[in-house]
Structure 1
Amino acid sequence: MAGLRHLSAIILVLHTVVLLAKSDTYEVVKTGPCTADIKYHGVLQHKIDLHPLNSDNPAKPTFSIPGGGYTFLYNPCTGMNTPCSGGSETVCQIDGNSHYPAGRTNFSTFTFLELGKIQLEYDEDPADGKARRSFFTLMCSKTATEPNITYVEEKPGGHYRFNFQWKTFCGEIPDSAPGGLSAGSYMLIIVLPAVALYFVVGIVVQKFVLKGDNMLPNSGLWTSLPGLVKDGFFLIVPRSGGASLPGYDSIGKS
């Protein structure tokens, strides 16, 4: 059972490392309230720019979106002054004769979800956990020659979610990673299976060949490694301050 616990822990660690490496592949860099660059390993792939959809008239926002028993007015890049006043409201929720601000242009955030999907969030007040927020999932749709926004749900309360489909969001994002695998990817492919094989074979040998109680291969090395690292650290650090570590002879001492 100890061997199985070791093996399960190893697989979990390897899986976590692979997920972290994968999630670091693409990134979205915000360049303005409604603009962003999508990069792969730091190399620009394409740009998100909603300015062509923005109304220059603050009294006439571009979009009116029904959903959830409300109507949402939306101007992607600049604020509106009616019916939600303030000048920086990019999303305004209309509920009968009442209206509520649901996101400002100066509190917008881009998040990469997956290839062809970017989340654009507008906060009303990031410091206020109860303030309304609007989330637009910018979705690549090669058939959507015109922008199409649909209401999805309110989840949790006060957080309004929309799907925003448009052909322009497809940009130049490839179906697979451009330029092949990175050096880090090759390292993961080579090193991680080798480490996993080492532990799997070691556990099998310990259990069925040596028939020992400890299933961890080279357990003496691994259990002493933290102490060795600690000794090495304290051996090096005092040298920079001129002190010496008790128990070690100074180099060059006669």
Structure 2
Amino acid sequence: MLKSGWLLTCVVLGTSIWMTFGKTCVKVPGHVCTCKLENGTLISLDAISGSKSPVFADVEEVNHTSADGRQYLYYYDPCRSFALPQANGVCTGVSVCQKDVASNAYYNLGELGDTKFGWDETRDLFYISYRGCDGQDCRRTNVSLRCDWSRGDPMLEVFRQNGGTPLEYNMTLTSRCACPAGCAEERHPTRLSGGAVFLIVLVAGAGFYLLVGVAYRRIVVGATGWEALPNRRFWASLPGLVRDGVTFCITCRRADTTYDQI
């Protein structure tokens, strides 16, 4: 019985640890809509973002009409800001926007500057949230990420807003890009650092210098062997010059100076 009790405790503890770490996705620095799972794989929505106009436009709510009898349309781009000229500046530099069809009024539902990732316990889905404010009026949009490997074209479902302060809006984005490593490799190539670019340019420049110099001295001057190297004497003396410079810098302040008595 004692062994069984310890075994059950270990199973429960292991399950708790898995539940805690297996449902954590940390936002990748420098990427507003990419997060990293505990095993190192990425969930990235970059591949389904538009250029200037939002990917999803004029999207109706699932039931088309909200609880107060009004109809709304939604505009959404997961990873890029957009502007709706017809919104009179309300939806400029936003990622989520809402339009009241009856009054033709627009509302900022979220911007890229405050995106967060989390886990929705009730739906067993990761979500990304956006927050937008128009003066003192703030709203938050939570977009649940439903993984579907068979869906190349993403689908957005918009649900009714939740009351409270701030107002919250719930959406579901279904796509293979919502799957771990579903689209991450497509839009996250390894980028060279500034130092790597400098080294590449330096090596390429040195190779070009040697190639052109050797060709010139062999063809025009008629030099052979080591004499074909451009500026051979300078390069041969360079190590000695460097050594003398280092020696001078080290000993110049320590040199003993003596003067003759007058």
TM-score by length of 2: 0.51
Give the aligned partner of residue 252 of structure 1. Answer: none
State how 1:212-251 maps to structure 2 within 5 Å: none
Q: 1:172 offset after TM fit, Å?
A: 5.5
Question: % of aligned pairs identical?
Answer: 20
Residues 116 and 169 in structure 1, CA contact (< 8 A), matched pair in contact too? no
Q: 1:73 offset after TM fit, Å?
A: 0.6
Residues 116 and 170 in structure 1, CA contact (< 8 A), matched pair in contact too? no
Q: Which amino acid in 1 is paired with 2:156? A: I
Give the aligned partner of residue 127 of structure 2. Answer: 119
Q: Please give the secondary structure, in 1, of the residue aligned with 2:144.
A: strand
Q: Please give the secondary structure, in 1, of the residue aligned with 2:142.
A: strand
Residues 45 and 177 in structure 2, CA contact (< 8 A), matched pair in contact too? no
Residues 117 and 128 in structure 2, CA contact (< 8 A), matched pair in contact too? yes
Give the aligned partner of residue 91 of structure 1. Answer: 96
Q: 1:19 offset after TM fit, Å?
A: 7.2
Q: Whole-Å Cα distance in 1 between the matches of residues 46 and 99 of structure 2?
A: 24
Q: 1:171 aligns with which of 180, 183, 186?
A: 180
Q: Which amino acid in 2 is paired with 1:122? A: Y
Q: Whole-Å Cα distance in 2 between the matches of residues 88 and 17 of structure 1?
A: 45
Q: Whole-Å Cα distance in 2 between the matches of residues 47 and 21 of structure 1?
A: 20
- Residue 20 and residue 102 in structure 1: after superposition, are their counterparts in 2 closer, same or farther (change >3 A)? same
Q: How far does the alpha carbon of each residue in 1:48-79 deviate from its partner, in whole angstroms, 9 at most, with x for none?
A: 2222221221xx21102211421111111121
Give the aligned partner of residue 82 of structure 2. Answer: 80
State how 1:27-42 maps to structure 2 within 5 Å: 27-31=24-28, 32-39=31-38
Q: 1:25 offset after TM fit, Å?
A: 2.0
TM-score by length of 1: 0.52
Give the aligned partner of residue 212 of structure 2. Answer: none
Q: Whole-Å Cα distance in 2 between the matches of residues 101 and 172 of structure 1?
A: 31
Give the aligned partner of residue 20 of structure 2. Answer: 24
Residues 80 and 89 in structure 1, CA contact (< 8 A), matched pair in contact too? yes
Q: 1:63 aligns with which of 53, 56, 64?
A: 56
Q: 1:86 offset after TM fit, Å?
A: 6.3
Moved over 6 A (4+): 13-19
Range with greater deviation from structure 2 (29-38 or 76-85): 76-85
Residues 160 and 169 in structure 2, CA contact (< 8 A), matched pair in contact too? yes
Give the aligned partner of residue 231 of structure 2. Answer: none
Q: 1:161 aligns with which of 130, 152, 170?
A: 170
Aligned positions, number? 153
Structure 1: tracts of 5 or more residues without a match: 1-12, 174-254
Q: 1:50 aligns with which of 45, 57, 63?
A: 45
Q: How far does the alpha carbon of each residue in 1:36-56 deviate from its partner, in whole angstroms, 9 at most, with x for none?
A: 1122xxx31x21222222122
Structure 2: tracts of 5 or more residues without a match: 1-8, 183-262
Larger Cα Rg: Structure 1 or Structure 2? 2
Q: Whole-Å Cα distance in 2 between the matches of residues 71 and 124 of structure 1?
A: 17
Q: Which amino acid in 2 is paired with 1:118? A: F
- Residue 116 and residue 139 in structure 1: after superposition, are their counterparts in 2 closer, same or farther (change >3 A)? farther
Q: Whole-Å Cα distance in 2 between the matches of residues 154 and 132 of structure 1?
A: 10
Q: Please give the secondary structure, in 1, of the residue aligned with 2:83.
A: coil
Give the aligned partner of residue 109 of structure 2. Answer: 102
Residues 116 and 139 in structure 1, CA contact (< 8 A), matched pair in contact too? no
Give the aligned partner of residue 228 of structure 1. Answer: none
- Residue 161 and residue 25 in structure 1: after superposition, are their counterparts in 2 closer, same or farther (change >3 A)? same
Q: CA RMSD in A?
A: 3.2
